[in-house]
Amino acid sequence: MRVLILLPPSEGKTAPASGPSLDLDSLLDAERLTAARREVMSALAGVSRSAEAASVLGLGPRSAEQVGINLSLETSPCVPAHRLFTGVLYEAAGLDSIAKDPTGRAALERHCVVFSGLWGILSPTDLVPDHRLSMGTSLPGPGRLPAFWKPYLGPSLTAMAAQGLVVDCRSADYAAAWKPAAHDGIEVATVRVVRTADDGSRKVVSHMAKHARGLLAGELIRAVAGGTLPASARVDDIARVAGRLDGIDNVEVSEPDRKGQQALTLVTR
């Protein structure tokens, strides 16, 4: 039994200046996923050579200038995913700091999975190059990436999460690539973040939600590494950890829905 934390990647990345080249055989669950990863890499390269690259990949003007990095994935320098991704969630989680300690690194590798439009899933310590591809993209050949990845990721993640608790911090596109269910023996807590306005209404603020999910993910990994969160943790244990986070006014746990999933709502100010 274990807690498994699911994270999205981030659009914000810090490209490494040096590092080893990509080794697909070293990535998470390579035996199941390498062929699918190669298929997506090939389709991405084809799109990235075309005049429609920015449109197909949904890139703005600044990112569109960097589309050429998708053509050298196998030769570009790589860094651990937790260092490549530098968006709001990852900054709040502090995974880079956690990974510097051997116990923290082990906890990251066992208890955290990063979803990716290009690689399907990654361990935070997997070495990968800079790239531009979101899960919401539809590529010629593979098609819509959530639908492409779903049959590949299901067996991998169901085996990883079996008889344990999944803490789902993903955004919608990434959540569509795998939906854990109670009938697989998996308890699921989907993390929501809302802000209470002055008039008492509640709103979802994207930046704030990413920050709060990052804080929770980092605190959970530290708790696992420090032995204060047991392997048999349940949703109420996660809620107690969340309630200690800075900026969280309240934590609400819903009743399980028909799929056995519970919403863990973090209320911020």
What is the full per-residue pLDDT of the chain (269 aa) written as tens digits? 689 999 999 999 999 999 999 999 999 999 999 999 999 999 999 999 998 898 899 887 766 678 999 999 999 999 999 999 999 999 999 999 999 999 999 999 999 999 999 999 999 999 999 999 999 999 999 999 999 999 999 999 999 998 899 999 999 999 999 998 777 788 999 999 999 888 888 888 888 999 999 999 999 999 999 999 987 899 999 999 999 999 999 999 999 888 778 999 999 97
pLDDT of residue 197: 84
- Rounded distance, CA 258 to CA 266, Å? 22
pLDDT of residue 62: 67
Phi-psi bin for 14: left (phi > 0), alpha (psi -120 to 50), beta?
beta
Tell me if the pTM is above 0.85: yes
pLDDT of residue 70: 95
With H, G, I as helix, E, B as strand and everything else as coil, classify residue 193.
strand
Is 6:179 a contact under the CB 8 Å cutoff? no
Gyration radius from the chain CA atoms: 18
- Rounded distance, CA 119 to CA 113, Å? 12
Q: Name, in order, each residue with C-beta under 8 angstroms of 269's C-beta and a sequence gap of 6 or more.
A: 195, 196, 247, 249
pLDDT of residue 65: 72
Nearest C-alpha neighbor of 130 from the set 196, 174, 86, 98 = 86
